[in-house]
Amino acid sequence: MNDEYSLQTALRDVDVVVHAAGPFQQAEKCSVLEAAINTKTAYVDISDDTNYAWRAKSFMTRALGANVPAIITGGLCPGLSTVMAAELVRSALRESDDQDKPESLRFSYYIPGTGGAGPTVLTSSFLLLGEEVVAYSNGEKIKLEPYSGKLNVDFEKGIGKRDVYLMNLPEVSSVYENLGVPTVSARFGTAPFFWNWGMQNLTKLLPSEFLRDRSKVGRLVELYGPLIGAFDGIVGEHISMRVDLECSSDRSKVAIFSHSKFPTAAGIATAAFALAILEGSTEPGVWFPDEVQGLAVEAREVFLKRASQGAFNFVMNR
């Protein structure tokens, strides 16, 4: 009760609250969202956890009743990447006939080392290794092993080809539900290459119960975090995202975003979501970024321009 009161007190006279205090994995409550609704304060979070995101979505009725606009998974990946996907699908539908529909969408992410973001990213990544991967194939929900299904993806300018592996990320289910694409998956890869081997070995050597325990994962991060972070100066702090859309007529569309500083890029994208809410581009309720109520179609062009500031490569609808 004291924590709830403190949150509500902190949100007085605030226009929008940005909840960036991860990791979101294994969080049992949506306390910040609940406080935002109770104080009628607009809300954005940068959750990258599927369970947390859908738990937050369950506050829809309360947010509507309080006339509070809220965007969940509104950061960089997911967030900006989800809007990129929504625009690819919208463009494909606009250009196609009734027989040519989006069939498959794939998210691919590359972040070397810690990406300069420190232990939070490592903690989230390790916790995700304890979750079965939810993906969709031809309209059917499937469950796969974490950090399996390796693909070699070309992130192009400044990044090149990188290996990426399946992860359980919330944009997969939101795109499936909201955009109607029947086959959806998300993958992640890191550098140096042997960190990918390490991630794979963790899923084989440690039980999933261990990898879902925040305190145990925290100790794991304390042990290996300094070693992984030591390579950041060598491998860089890049972030690269690629979204691939394939249609039934064998047409394909691609979107790519690459930035030299992951923390900076994440901050810019999150700020773009907050600004969109303040400008009235989000309706009351709890929305994913790919829902038109979360970010109006007519606001997407401005959002993408803002969110991609500083990127050394940004490609849409190629």
Q: What is the pLDDT of residues 10-25, one digit of tens each?
A: 676 679 999 987 778 7
What pLDDT, in 10s, does the model give residues 25-39? 777 899 999 999 999
What pLDDT, in 10s, does the model give residues 90-110? 999 888 766 678 999 999 999
Pairwise CA distance, residues 189 & 195, whole Å: 9
The strand pair at 42-45 and 151-154 is best described as unpaired
Q: Count CB atoms within 10 A of the CB of residue 35.
A: 22
Contact criterion met (CB below 8 Å) for 52 and 73: no
Contact criterion met (CB below 8 Å) for 210 and 172: no
- Whether 227 shows a pLDDT value over 70: the answer reads no
Burial class (CB in 10 A: 0-12, 13-18, 19+), 130: buried
What number of CA atoms fall less than 13 Å from residue 84's CA on the CB side? 34
Q: Which of 117, 84, 80 is nearest to 273 (CA)?
A: 80
The strand pair at 140-144 and 133-137 is best described as antiparallel
- Whether 267 shows a pLDDT value over 50: the answer reads yes
> Where residue 215 falls among pLDDT bands split at 50, 70, 90?
confident
Q: Is residue 185 classed as helix, strand or coil in its secondary structure?
A: strand
> Where residue 205 falls among pLDDT bands split at 50, 70, 90?
confident
| Residue 103 vs residue 122, higher pLDDT | 103
- Whether 126 shows a pLDDT value over 50: the answer reads yes
Q: Which of 54, 61, 62, 58 is nearest to 36 (CA)?
A: 62
| Residue 2 vs residue 149, higher pLDDT | 149
CA angle 284, 285, 289 (to 5 degrees): 100
State percent of the chain over pLDDT 70. Answer: 90
